[in-house]
Amino acid sequence: MHQTTITLTVLSEEPIPDDAEISDIVHEAMVGDYSMDSEISSRQISPVQMAEIALAQGTDPEFFGLDAEGNRVEN
């Protein structure tokens, strides 16, 4: 199980709205008026950590085959 963090640093002439979609920001950086750099890091995490992080994001850990305590569940 892995957790990947992607950090985008975007330069723009005007502020980017707080409700902007990430896909729209990336598109604007690729073909529009934004400049963007990215940094990607990944780390291996335990099933318990995966369940905790999934719950904190509002995702059911069962999506990853886990219960709330990080135990494997049968699908």
- Each residue's pLDDT, cut to its tens digit, for the chain (75 residues) gives 999 999 999 999 999 999 999 999 999 999 999 999 999 999 999 999 999 999 999 999 999 999 999 999 986
Q: pTM for this structure?
A: 0.76
Helix (H) or strand (E) holding 35: strand 35-44
- Beta strands in the chain, from DSSP E residues, in sequence order: 2-11, 35-44
Cα–Cα distances in Å, from 12 out to 19, 21, 51? 16, 15, 36
What pLDDT score does 75 carry? 63
What pLDDT score does 7 carry? 97
> At which residue do the structure tokens 């957790």 appear?
3
Q: How far apart are CA 33 and CA 13, in angstroms?
A: 8
Please give the distance of CA 46 from its chain centroid, rounded to a whole number: 17
